[in-house]
Structure 1
Amino acid sequence: MSVVRLPRSIVNQLLQLAQKSPEEEICGLISRDQRGFKKCYPVVNVADDKKHFFALDPKGQIEAIRSMREQGEELGAIFHSHPDSPPLPSLADIEQHEYPGVLYLIISLGKKGVPEMRGYHIHGREAGEVVITLLDDTPQGSSE
């Protein structure tokens, strides 16, 4: 199983976004460069059934990718939440995955509102779970 290091600040942001919208799936992109993951780009979910599906707003997705390129970064991960189911890729998640090699993160609030996040690499119709470790990126002396 591969290991991925995510900055604590990004993980905290993802968990907070999911908790702020417990009735619908949140979604977005995360950038990376050669040193690792850099920035979270929340994108509006434009799916018809936001409780069970996500669809990135095309305009928001284009703006996020443009911003990444301007910063010398690239797409590193796609994230979304499952309001009331485990953080496992659904058949729809696997079928709609269009970026091989990009980390796929799912945040779940299914356990009585306690967030849980898992990561996957999806190749074809196979989803392999990755181990997520936290990279402490909080500034020294910060109370975060």
Structure 2
Amino acid sequence: MTLKIEAKVLTALLEHGRREIPNEACGYLAAREGLVCRHFELTNQDAAPDHFTMNPAEQFAAMRQMREAGLQVAAVYHTHPETPARPSEEDIRLAHDPGMVYVIVSLVRGDDPVRAFKINQGKVLELPLEVVTA
């Protein structure tokens, strides 16, 4: 499985992450016909640089907006302000949905900024990322 994502969405994720420094940013990625074409920024209730908890009311609102727009949830994303784009021990421990794709955005200069993963019972599988320019 390859995660196909529009370049403008990648740019928006990096911008969201930079606005939230020093804390992690989080949200959903939504797709139409297998192409991630939109992101939904959610509030990190923890306001922490190494942890995030999505606001439940915002999660429900984002899901409703996706349904109304004919989009599907493609991934959960969050940023790592000071570490590479790979799942931390906590990310692995808290990944409860084996069907979900987890996108991690690193704000560390020189690092591969965006990577996608499937996480199932502690096992991490990196997914190829295909960037599509509209």
State the TM-score, normalizing by the size of structure 2: 0.90
Q: Answer yes or no: is the 8 Å Cα contact 2:14–2:107 preserved in 1.
A: no
Q: Answer yes or no: is the 8 Å Cα contact 2:43–2:54 preserved in 1.
A: yes
Shift of 1:20: 1.9
The corresponding residue for 1:64 is: 62
Structure 2 counterpart of 1:52, from 37, 47, 50: 50
Q: Answer yes or no: is the 8 Å Cα contact 1:109–1:115 preserved in 2.
A: no
Q: Answer yes or no: is the 8 Å Cα contact 1:18–1:26 preserved in 2.
A: yes
The corresponding residue for 1:125 is: 122
Shift of 1:98: 2.8
Flag structure 1 segments of 5+ consecutive residues without an equivalent: 138-144
Question: Any idea what the Cα deviations from partners look like across 1:78-106, whole Å, max 9, x if unmatched?
Answer: 00001111111012111212332222111
Q: Answer yes or no: is the 8 Å Cα contact 1:4–1:131 preserved in 2.
A: yes
The one-letter amino acid paired with 1:67 is Q
Q: Which runs of 4+ in 1 moved over 4 A?
A: none
The corresponding residue for 1:142 is: none
Alignment of 1:1-144 (within 5 A): 2-47=1-46, 50-111=48-109, 116-137=113-134
Aligned equivalents of 1:35 and 1:115: distance in 2? Answer: 23
RMSD: 1.8
State the TM-score, normalizing by the size of structure 1: 0.84
Shift of 1:70: 1.3
Structure showing greater Rg: 1
The one-letter amino acid paired with 2:129 is I
Matched residue pairs, number? 134
Question: Any idea what the Cα deviations from partners look like across 1:38-79, whole Å, max 9, x if unmatched?
Answer: 3100000002x5111011011111100111111222211100
Deviates most, 33-42 or 56-65: 33-42
The one-letter amino acid paired with 2:103 is L
The one-letter amino acid paired with 1:108 is S
Shift of 1:115: 7.1
Flag structure 2 segments of 5+ consecutive residues without an equivalent: none
**1:111 is paired with a residue of what secondary structure?**
coil
